[in-house]
Structure 1
Amino acid sequence: MAASIPELLSPAGGEEALRAAVNNGADAVYLGGKSFSARARGENFDREGLARAVEYAHLRGVKVYVAVNTLLADQELEAIADYLRFLWRQGVDALIVQDIGLWYLLRQVLPQMPLHVSTQATVTATGAASLFYQAGAGRIVLARELSLPEIAEVHRAVPGVELEVFVHGAMCFSYSGQCLFSSLVGGRSGNRGWCAQPCRLAYELLRDEGREEAAGHLLSTKDLNLLPWLGELARAGVAALKIEGRLKRPEYVAVVTGVYRRALDAYAADPEEYAVVREWQRNLEQIFSRGFTSGYLLANQGTELMSYDRPNNRGLYLGRVQEVDRERLLAWIRLEDASLAVGDGLEFWVSHGGRRGLEVNRLQLGDRQVQVAPAGSRVGVAVPAGVAPGDRVFKTADAALLERARRSYRDPSAGQRVPLYLDVRGWPGQALTARARDDRGHQSEAQTRVPGQVPERYALDPESLRIQFGRLGGTAFYLADLEANLPEPVMYPVSQLNLLRRQLVADMTEQRLGEYSRPELEASEFAAQCRRVRTNLPVPPPANQEPETKLTVKVSYPRAALAAMETGADIIYFGGERFASGPGFSRQEVAEVFAAGRREGRPVIYSLPRLWLVQEETAVRHALEAAVAWGPAGILTGNLSGIKLAREVAPGLPIYGDYPLNIYNDLAIGFCYQMGLHQVTLSPEMTLAQIGALDWLARGYPLECLAHGHLPLMVSQSCVPGAVCGGRTAQQRCSRPCRTHTFSLRDRLGLVFPVETDQFCRQHIFNAKGLCLVEDLPRLLRLGVRRLRLELTRDSSERVGRIVRIYRKALDDLAAGEDAENFALWAAQARGELGSLSPQGLTKGHYYRGVL
């Protein structure tokens, strides 16, 4: 019995990749422009190229989704408005959006534009899916970390929204949208499209006081490959299967799209008998592979998720070197499961000295030179220096596979084309009439300009008509069928038949593209409309305005919270992640924190975890219910699921938005205000100049800036200590080494990044350098920032007290009118003391330098 199948969505990093996707069976493609795309390093599309791409795809019945999935600065409002107007006019099928500020804008100025939630928005639980659906999302690209039962639960909980999941390609080690590694360490923001991929570099895992436990590409994942589970994904309610790869070459797009197309069609034809064909898997391994994994679909894979040995393509395993003939300069290899041909690429993994690569230009089979050697044969190839018996051999390029892939998008007659069905009628003395229809029911009719003639020698016949009307190369169409009604011998000039064919093609093309046409938006009026959305942001009521600057402190442990109160914190954020390296504590100690806050008049805000998965929703809800009983002054959340949960569990408490929401502009603050948030913490990727330009500052709405602390660079479902030291695999539980040891990662420059594991066994990697703005407090206060936050979630109570005391004195002195010169001298000394608590140095983050 046939089954319905999800949409196949392929990447298009450039025009050739787009044709590769369309011609190999994609139902939809996703691409980006030269700006505002999370793959800024790719070829991408200028406006002319994007218009051509949309026309090429739409003619062939393929949808086009445009990624506008970076965080936007307020200064880019004019440019984004013009770009949105252009995309609207092109008739693109949807926009893929990360920035909640852009979402806020689009819902007001282009409410008819379909919107998809980017994976960069980190949708990991049902609450966020529900709120995005209520905010107008037509589709959500789920986080890669969700398991198959969790995907099914999101579909059950929010049935009205389409779900899209990645099924093939590179995986981020971190939760997408929650990584600041490239940004804070290298100045290239993944949230702005410029990720430098530090996760693909080599690191050393250190235990306790610096003992090396492992070395290699410890954050480099294998590539996702969910080909065997297409049926399970379809039954879980997935609407679209996404192939990663906008930075990949077109040959990759062609091969991977073609394999998944054949697999989906095979599943649709007979779901019960669906099985992965070995050739499909071999082609996927050959075109690009770091090794394959099922990711988190079935379980946390531990070491099996990772590609520790190398971060790039390994190709297809051929076998091992059996013998090296030094005289003939040949290495003899037994081909285990694949053929080898002249022109293919090989790589030898030698025992000493890394890897040796070559292109096969000589292939020896016994005493004969051949062009192709079949699987199972013993072949000799030219041997690079250093190769020895036992070395593994991989085929890194298959010349025949690459050539087939290239033909699929370079040959005008290849690939995806639209069927045309023609009915042609003609008589002597009458014009020839041709009626055309396509697979969508469009119809067209055209006639020759001259009547038919009685032939002197050769009469027009159905086969001649098929030849003339079948000359559709270079168009989007092919002749699927032609019915000829020629009751009497008749002849028409060939030029008239060609003209008739061109008229039909032009009309059918216009009709197909006409389905996507949209009314023109007048440029200046649309730009003004976008500006008005920002300038007409609401003014918070007096109760939600804050005239005074408050010192806020985020901690994870009761003693640290009490130390913060005792040394001058105005507001305490307490809760969130509990790290394995931290002290244990009782429920009574937690209750005392909230009670002390009430006694001292220092609000204690309960912090939800940074994120959680569907399977953890019940635990997070119960924890919040318990916290509400202790009487918090509010709830802090860094994700939309937390907003929904807080509304349900504690409807009377104010909700505070944390910086993992990636609040980067005025419009994002508007989105949060519309959601009912009492206060928001700005993205640490903003500069002071950008903060100073925020319209919300003048409205008195409490905006918080991070002023001090070691910030998390990554949060990941995979844990390096758990995999490497704890033995975690898909079948084996972790032995929890984090309970008895501390861990860190050291990079090639010698920087050491602390690693923590939370109560859900998620890993958090922290910056080696601590953020410190004690010298810059006067400028922050002049900007009108009303909340200055110390991020001290890993610090002991003694350290918390020392840090809070310094910042308390700074704010009190500034409030008392301390002379600028005297303050600068004191602040320099204070920075020195704070620097002693951060041995690897201090940083001012992006407040001055900004990000790419």
Structure 2
Amino acid sequence: MANRPLPELLAPAGSPEALRAAIAAGADAVYFGGGAFNARMRAQNFDDEATEAAIRLCHAYGVKAYMTFNTLITDREMPAFLVAAEKAYLAGVDALIVADLGAAAVLRQALPLLPLHASTQCSAHNAAGARALAERGFCRVVPARELSAADIATIKRESNTEIEIFIHGALCVSHSGQCLFSSLVGGRSGNRGECAQPCRLPDANGKYPLSLKDLCLAREIPFFIENGIDSLKIEGRLKSPQYVYEVVSIYRRLLDERRAATDREMAALAAIFSRSGFTDGYFKGKVGREMLGVRTEADKQQSASKETTITLPPVPLALRFRMKANEPVALTLQKGEKTVTVTGDIPLVAQNAPMDAAAVSKNLCRFGGTPYTVAETDIDVDAGLMMPVSRLNALRRAALAALETEQRASAAQLPPLPQLQGTATAPTASFTSLAQLTPKARHYFARCYLPLALYDDRAAALTDSVAIPPVIMDHEWPDITKMLQKATERGAKHALVSNIGHLAAVKAAGLIPHGDLRLNICNSYAAADYLANGMTDLLLSPELTLPQMRDIGGARRAVIYGSLPLMLLEKCAGRELGGCTACDAGKVRLVDRRGEKFPVLRLPGSHRSVIYNSHPTVMSDRPRELMGAGLSNGHFLFTTETADQVDAVINAYQRATPLYQKIRRM
């Protein structure tokens, strides 16, 4: 381990003050968001001027600057998105963290030299997903936080890209990129940077079944070094500069000393911020109720420490200056291995007061208001010469600008909006049980998707379509591969695919892939990418409005009926909310403070569970609206419905009559 390179230590910055704290604490890189298109819109963030200053400051200290553009982008937003990305590129940003595959496709064409990092919002949870993202131009992937140590090692070993792992900070209970709770229930989209954190709220019983403790992997530093992980990321763009400074300082020490945290250091981290302690449950493969935690009064009192003054040491420069008769003056600045030289006017013959080295040094060594100080000078001035102070000041400013600026040229143009061909010719549906596949359903729907784990001989007699699990960790692939093989042997022909990392396996099995809503398709560029890579048709993100869906052409659908999935949980919520028997019977409900009841279903063949909306999306009596958006042949999502209820839903859509009283519209 002693000879292996250290991972990059990547720190959060929600404000300029937090950015300075991260640099002072020893971060190798800092990530921050601009005024739009980032997943922490509640942070102070950085406007254009602050962004340029932040990047200059980072580079002055040899720290990399990454910007988050990690929200979903619509077609109509794409021009503004590209303008913002180009500004970041021209300012010298080292990489953009991106969540939208359509946005990545645009950047790949418009700014091909700009490095792209795939956000954890891309839902990469296996090596195949990392490879698929690398094929789309990403040089780094931030995989799901739910990975175990073994799966992290596999994803690094079997992918062809840099891997960045979250090691400290708040945990979402849902898989990142797979949470619609805040959006569909509260009107504030987590995928658009406005999460209201409903998972931190109590339920009807005053308990907190969805609030996880903060992640802390400070004891696992040797593992990450040994397995060649490229970057270790600390969460916290909503945290204070003091938090950033103290947490980064501890991890900096652990990395430099290549060791695990001691009990004292773990206690120090908990004193900075915790929710009833920390968890490493996902990493250890121990997913259970011990991972739950809330911010108690004792936690708050423990964290109430006095503020530490955070200062940055000056950056030393070497300065050389030459002023010779009949030659342009020359000023050279050197910072580390970087050297720049600028030239100015030919000096004048002094009439009264010639300049000596001391006079020149007094004017050239003024770097107030910058991170720099002159540590070494070499000034060679011929006797009897002078130069106006204003010219010396201009020369110094020009040299500093050359030192700080990486010359980048760009004439980014938005690629033409893809003109997608084809249409969805008949409605389709997803089911959670075999009993829901009524004769009426099998006749009405072109494809009836049943979970892969339920596709036995009885199912094969009723449908030729399977739904691939939304999460497949690398250790689960052997079982999934066997299921795919048996499904094709039984006559399966179609597969509903909900993750980019599953597409290759589905095609290899000989199944026709269709895109699920979990792909988060919000623009034509993302749709074109999936269609070009083998998808036959696509389900659009339910966060889009009908006009936004209309903007995206081609063979696309939307969920026009059903209780939409709000959260995808790695842990089994049903066991805690109602017990295993109730969970298997589909009778578990999460009841919130207002009395709303959200169905919780276990994914067949796994311990994972899904929380669904308390009110179904219903458009049965709005056929003209669907037709106007080109979505007449939409997708139906059946969860807890009985066979009779399935038939009743179909009847309502056939007759264009209302359904239920409490519903959600598109």
TM-score above 0.5: yes
Confirm or deny that 1:624 pairs with 2:625.
no
Does 2:312 align with 1:415?
Answer: yes
Corresponding residue for residue 438 of structure 1 = 335
Give me the whole-angstrom Cα distance separating, in 2, the residues matched to 1:238 and 1:501: 48
Equivalent in the alignment of 1:537: 419
In the TM superposition, what is the alpha-carbon distance from 1:123 to its structure 2 partner? 0.5
> Per the alignment, in what secondary structure is the counterpart of residue 842 of structure 1?
coil
8 Å CA contact 1:203–1:747 kept in 2: the answer is: yes
| Aligned ranges 1:570-585 → 2 under 5 Å | 570-576=446-452
Q: Which residue of 1 aligns with 2:283?
A: 297
- Aligned to 2:155, the other structure's residue is in SS state helix
Q: Which residue of 2 aligns with 1:762?
A: 608
SS in 2 for 1:537: coil
Q: Does 1:249 align with 2:240?
A: yes
Q: Write the mapping of 1:275-354 to structure 2, written as runs, cut at 5 A.
A: 275-277=260-262, 280-290=265-275, 291-307=277-293, 310-311=294-295, 314-315=298-299
Aligned residues: 654
The structure 2 residue matched to 1:224, chosen from 209, 215, 218, is: 215
Report the Cα distance in structure 2 between the residues aligned to 1:741 and 1:674, rounded to whole angstroms: 38
Matching of residue 771 in structure 1 with residue 598 in structure 2? no
Inter-CA distance 434–667: structure 2 relative to 1 (3 Å threshold): closer
Letter of the 1:607 counterpart: A
Q: CA deviation at 1:252?
A: 1.4
Shift in Å at residue 564 of structure 1? 4.8
Aligned residue in 2 for 1:646: 506
In the TM superposition, what are the counterparts of 1:675-694 in structure 2 within 5 Å? 675-694=533-552
| Matches of 1:647 and 1:35, distance apart in 2 | 37
One-letter amino acid matched to 1:755? V
Q: Which amino acid aligns with 1:131?
A: A
User: Relative to structure 1, is the Cα distance of residues 140 and 224 closer, same or farther in structure 2, using a 3 angstrom cutoff?
Assistant: same
Q: Please name the residue that 1:177 is paired with.
A: 177
Match of 1:77 in 2: 78
Aligned to 1:517: 407
Pick from 626, 630, 633: which aligns with 1:780?
A: 626
Q: Deviations over 1:569-595 (max 9, x none)?
A: 3321122476xxxxxxx833123224x
Task: Kindly state the Cα deviation for residue 743 of structure 1 after the two structures are TM-superposed.
Answer: 2.3
Q: Please name the residue that 1:4 is paired with.
A: 5
Instruction: Look up the SS of the partner of 1:517 in the other structure.
Output: coil
- Mapped contact 1:702–1:785 kept (Cα < 8 A): no
What one-letter code is carried by the residue in structure 1 that aligns with 2:403?
A: R
Q: Distance in 1 between matches of 2:199 and 2:360?
A: 60
Paired with 1:201 and 1:794, the residues of 2 have a C-alpha distance of 25
Give, in angstroms, the shift of residue 281 of structure 1. Answer: 3.3
* Cα contact 1:13–1:31 (8 A) shared by 2: yes
Deviation at 1:165, TM superposition (A): 0.9
Q: Paired residue for 2:597, among 752, 764, 778?
A: 752
Q: Please state whether the residue corresponding to 1:67 is helix, strand or coil.
A: strand
C-alpha contact (below 8 Å) 1:200/1:311 kept by paired residues:
no
Equivalent residue in structure 1 for 2:571, among 698, 701, 718: 718
The separation in 2 between residues aligned to 1:843 and 1:642, in whole angstroms, is 31
Pairing 1:637–2:497 present: yes
Q: Aligned residue for 1:605? A: 465
Residues in 1 aligned to 2:334 and 2:460: alpha-carbon distance in whole angstroms: 74
Q: CA RMSD in A?
A: 3.5
| C-alpha distance in structure 2 between counterparts of 1:500 and 1:238, whole Å | 50
Aligned to 1:117: 118
- Cα gap change, 1:538 to 1:682, in 2 (>3 Å): closer
Which amino acid is 1:36 matched to?
Answer: F
Which AA in structure 2 matches 1:768? S
Q: Which has the larger radius of gyration?
A: 1
Q: Does 1:142 align with 2:143?
A: yes
**Counterpart-to-counterpart distance in 1, 2:432 and 2:389:** 77
TM-score, scaled relative to structure 2: 0.89
CA contact (8 A) 1:32 1:45 kept: yes
- Equivalence for 1:477: 372
Q: Distance in 1 between matches of 2:640 and 2:128?
A: 28
Q: Does the Cα contact within 8 Å between 1:444 and 1:507 map onto a contact in 2?
A: no
Normalising to structure 1: TM-score of the pair?
Answer: 0.70
1:23 corresponds to 2:12 = no
Counterpart residue number, 2:353: none
2:220 match: secondary structure: helix
Q: What displacement does 1:661 show?
A: 0.2
**Aligned residue type for 2:664:** T
Share of identical aligned residues, percent?
32
Structure 1 residues 118 and 577, CA, compared in 2 at 3 Å: closer, same or farther?
farther
Q: Which residue of 2 aligns with 1:398?
A: 305
1:87 aligns to what SS in structure 2?
A: helix
The separation in 2 between residues aligned to 1:484 and 1:783, in whole angstroms, is 71
Instruction: Verify the 8 A CA contact 1:5 1:234 in the aligned structure 2.
Output: yes
AA in 2 matched with 1:623: M
- CA distance 1:433–1:635, shift in 2 (3 Å): closer
Secondary structure at 2:269 match in 1 = helix
Q: Is the 8 A contact 1:223 1:293 kept in 2?
A: yes
Which whole-Å CA distance do the structure 2 matches of 1:246 and 1:572 have between them? 43
Q: Which amino acid aligns with 1:513?
A: E
Partner residue of 1:658?
A: 516
**1:94 partner letter:** A
CA–CA distance in structure 2, aligned partners of residues 276 and 503 of structure 1:
50
- Which consecutive unaligned segments of at least 5 residues does structure 1 have? 205-213, 268-273, 316-346, 348-393, 409-413, 453-458, 579-585, 595-603, 727-734, 811-822, 836-840, 848-852
Paired amino acid for 2:316? P
Given residue 627 of structure 1, which amino acid in structure 2 is its aligned partner?
A: A
Post-superposition Cα deviations, 1:124-154, rounded to whole Å, max 9, x if no partner, equal 1122111111111100011100111111111
CA 1:128–1:141: 2 relative to 1, 3 Å: same
